[in-house]
Structure formats: structure tokens, C-alpha cells
Amino acid sequence: MPETAAIAPAIVWFRDDLRLADHPALARAAKSGAPLVCVYVLDDLNPDIRTLGSASRWWLHRALQALDTALAEQGGSLLLLRGDETRAIAGLAESLGAGAVYWNRRYALAQRTVDAGLKASLRQRGLTVESAGGSLLFEPWEVQTGSGGPFRVYTPFWRAACKLGSVAPPLPAPAGLSFARLPAQLPMRATLEDLKLLPQPPEPDWAGGMRDAWTGGEAAATERLTHFLARGLHGYAEGRDRPDQPATSRLSPYLRFGEVSPRQAWHAVQAAEGSGREKFLAELGWREFCYSLLYHYPDLPTRNFRREFDDMPWRDDPAGVSAWQRGQTGYPLVDAGMRELWTTGWMHNRVRMVVASFLVKHLLVDWRVGEAWFWDTLVDADPASNVANWQWVAGCGADAAPYFRVFNPILQGTKFDPKGDYVRRWVPELAGLPAAVIHEPWKASAGQLSAAGVKLGRDYPEPIIVHEDGRKRALAAFATLTGKDSA
């Protein structure tokens, strides 16, 4: 009897979707019946694709490790390639004699350009190529104004999105996957260690605090979501602004790398009981809005959304930036946030707004400086949310009203960290100060400072700028933009 022809393998290209459940591309590939090759490509050569920051690379290492383990439990593995994405996937398809390639969509312009070009060239070679939406609740082109354009303000955007219909239910992880046998030699193949995502000697091991704070992978993401539903959802709307309380979901890095999907989070929260449901879902909506902005305004990462800010008189202040980065500004809430970031790769959202406002408004430093620092130090440095949120705080972004608002770090501290517990954790040199003065230690009496073992200027810095002086300077800078047109 004649031999049955072997079925050509199908490639599943994992990107920012490092999970098995609710993975449309994987589900479609599995349904095809073809043996699978699951692959991740680290492209740090394409100058148009932004290289991951250090903290994100650390997270990626653990996420890839967890995904490989999950695939191994079904008899497969995660193939790692390093180099230009187009060459890597095209070369892999040729080497394997693949019949199909599947992936979930990306939304930054450079990545969309890669995907479109690769899809066209592979289809010309006779391959089936399918892309799916697996990273958002709604595709950016689905949410439009009445005139058919993109929204520039969040509230009408989210109102329109919610009118599109119910969010599709998440897909289960496919079972019984079959995998193709890989040849011993493949171009651009790498091991996880070859990718050098972790701190490399002689570089110091700066990731100890992150290892203590986080566990990566799909299983950890599911556990984190379950914990939030049980412990954090009730009261989320009020508690989420309190950095002294464990009231946030801490799902952001898992969403960033797709270890949990927004559809999974959406439906899990919808099915739960708790007073914070609508607020949490609205936060998912803000993430959708940020991706809509990135898709429709592809220069968002580098250009002011409001073009009149191109004339903003930013200051060059290396000493101020360094003090801000090191958590040595003399403002305890700002310094606590920056030290939490450096240690854990994460910062409470309320504090992110305060520290960002301090840099761009008190110090009058270009928002792109702060955005780059966050990109390098955050484990959840998201290509859409990071830049959109920095522009929002700076006043030059979408929905940034009032754009001239200057957060008072003292009042923010007394309101959202009233007992000073957050400051005491991250600025331990001030731990002995009473709550009444911990957010403005320069007002502490000599006796209070002595009892706490604090000498300002020695143990903790004096403020690098007086709040009211910084506020006046920022407002004066904003006044120079009055009357200029925005694009």
C-alpha cells in the first residue's frame, strides 16, 4: 500500500502572548490537525522595534521558561530563535517545510509592518498564514467615532467599546497537542541562556528584589487573578489609590507578556462578586484606549500627542534626574515609589502618577526621559500604556485634562498614605518619624528628628526643589503654549 503523505507542520509564533489558554492562534493551529512547532523570536537587531528594557528582559526569561515547561507537559517544547524576525520565521518555515504559520496580532507600527510583509511573502510561497486577536478585548479599528475616526478621549471611547457587544469568552487551553519533530540544526536557533535576558557578569545581580516579589508564568498569573478576586476586588475602587494597602490586582506584568489575557480577566471579574468590578473593568478599558492610541497614532512613543507641546521649554537637569531615579528627591512619597520600582520592578499606580508629575512638572524634564527610565526598570513596561500614561501626566497626551495639573507630593502622601506605612517600608531612614510629619520631614521638630535618628542633609536629603517654586515654574512654562494650535 502507498505511504500516507506526512502532514506539513504548522508554526505557532508566540510574541506577547506567552500562555496556552485563550490563545486564538494556538487554538486555530491545533484545530488544523497539523503537528505544531511553537516558537519565540528575540529580535534585538531591527532598529525600528524597541528593545526590551532590563526588567522586562528579566521577566521574559521566566515567562519563556514557564511556557516551555507547559508545552513539555504535553510532549512539546518552545523553540527559541534569535535575530531578525522576518528572516527567522521565513527561514524556519523553509527548513521545516511548514504548511502554515499562525500568530496573534501586535499593534505598534514597526511590528505591524513586519507582520504584513511576512504574511504577504509566506502566502506567495503557498503557505497558509492566519493572524488573530488575542491581546485586546476589541480590535483598535472596531471602536470608532460617529464619523469613523479614532477617539481622542477615554470616556466616549470606552462607552462606544462597551456598546459593541459582549466580550468573547476566553478559549480553553487546547489538549492533546501534537508536535513536529525538529531537526538537530536550525538557523538562528538559541537556548534560553543564549538570549542573555538576565543580568550578565560582571554586571551586578540587580534582580534579587524582583525574584522575591514575583513568580512568572501562566500558572502564576492564574493564581494571582484568583487571589485578587478573593481578596482584592471588593473595595478595589476605593483601595486602589492606597499604596500602603495590598489593594491592587498586580496583574499588569502578566497582562503585558500575555500570561493572562484581558478576556480571561474580564470574564473572571464579571463572574465575581465585589464592589470594585466596574472600576477594574474600566481599568482594562484604559488599557484598550492606550492601544487604540498606539495603533492610530504610531508616533505616540516619540512625539507629543498635542503638538503644541513641541514648544514646551523642557529643562536639562542631570542632577535632578539622577536624584529622582535614585529616590533622593527629599519628597518621601516620590522617593518611596522610585525605590519600590528599583527593588521590585513595579510601582503602585497612584505613586506612578505622582513621581511622573514630579519629574515633568516640578523639575520640568521632558516626559521622554522618565518614560525611558520606566521602560528599562518596569517589569510591566507596556509599549502602549507606558507612553500614553507618561504623556497623560505631562499634559501633552490624550484626555490630559486639566493638562496643567501639578500633583502635590505632600498632599498626595498624607491623603493616600496617611499613616506613612508605605514611606516607612521603602524609605526606612524615616521610619521613626510620626505620621504627622513623615511626608514633610523638614517640618519635624529637632526632637522628632533626633528621636528618629534623622539628620536632614545627611541621612535623608532636603527637598531638591520647593514644591510651590516648582509648581509656579511649571505653570509659567505651560503659559508659553497658550494660543498655539494642537494637531
- Tell me: pLDDT of 43 over 80: yes
The reply to whether 43 sits in an annotated binding site is no
For residue 247, pLDDT over 90 is answered with: yes
275 — pLDDT class (breaks 50, 70, 90) = confident
Cα Rg of the chain (Å, integer): 24
Average pLDDT, the chain: 96
In this predicted structure, what is the pLDDT of residue 5?
54
Residue 151 confidence class, pLDDT cut points 50, 70, 90: very high
pLDDT at 2 over 70: no
Q: Is 236 annotated as a binding residue?
A: yes
What's the mean pLDDT in 433-462? 98
**Amino acid letter, 457:** G
Asked if residue 194 belongs to a known ligand binding site, the reply is no
367 catalytic? Reply is yes
Which residue do the cell numbers 473593568 mark? 281
pLDDT of 157 strictly over 50: yes
Kindly list the distances between the CA atom of residue 434 and the CA atoms of 257, 423, 430, 431, in Å, as whole numbers in the listed order.
41, 11, 9, 8
6 marked ligand binding residue: no
Catalytic-role residue among 46, 142, 286, 308 = 286
How many helices (DSSP H) and strands (DSSP E) are in the chain? 20, 6
Report which residue type is found at 338. Answer: M
pLDDT at 329: 98
322 is in an annotated binding site: no
pLDDT band of residue 400 (cuts 50, 70, 90) is confident
Instruction: Point out the catalytic residue in the list 342, 367, 375, 392.
Output: 367
Q: Are 428 and 422 in contact (CB under 8 A)?
A: no
**pLDDT over threshold 90, residue 486:** no
**What's the CA gap between 168 and 144, in Å, rounded?**
19
**197 annotated to a ligand binding site:** no
For residue 18, the model assigns a pLDDT of 98
The answer, yes or no, to whether residue 82 has pLDDT greater than 90, is yes
- For the cut 80, the answer to whether the pLDDT of residue 4 exceeds it is no
Catalytic status, residue 349: yes
| DSSP assigned state of 206 | T
Q: Is 471 annotated as a binding residue?
A: no
| Confidence (pLDDT) at 274 | 82
> Does the annotation flag 248 for ligand binding?
yes
Q: Which residues contact 191 (CB under 8 A, 6 or more apart)?
A: 80
Is residue 3 predicted with pLDDT exceeding 90?
no
Residue 81: beta bridge partners? 41, 189
pLDDT at 213 over 90: yes
Q: Is residue 224 very low, low, confident or very high in pLDDT (cuts 50, 70, 90)?
A: very high
Report which of 328, 78, 329, 344 is spatially closest to residue 206, judged by C-alpha positions: 344
What pLDDT, on a 0 to 100 scale, did the predictor assign at position 402?
76
Cα end-to-end distance, the chain, whole Å: 71
Candidate list 85, 218, 283, 440, residue with the active-site label: 283
Catalytic residue among 390, 392, 426, 440: 390
**What would the pLDDT profile of 286-299 be if each residue is shown by its tens digit?**
999 999 999 999 99
Catalytic residue (choose from 142, 308, 314, 429)? 314
Active-site option among 206, 308, 349, 429: 349
Q: pLDDT of 296-354, one tens digit each?
A: 999 999 999 999 999 999 999 999 999 999 999 999 999 999 999 999 999 999 999 99
Q: In the predicted model, what is the mean pLDDT of residues 260-269?
A: 98
What are the chain's domains? 1-134 (3.40.50.620), 136-169+218-296 (1.25.40.80), 307-480 (1.10.579.10)
Is residue 404 scored above 90 in pLDDT?
no
| pLDDT for the residue 401 | 72
pLDDT tier for residue 483 given thresholds of 50, 70 and 90 = low
Share of the chain above pLDDT 90, in %: 95
Q: Is 286 a known active-site residue?
A: yes
Cα(397)–Cα(104) distance, integer angstroms = 28
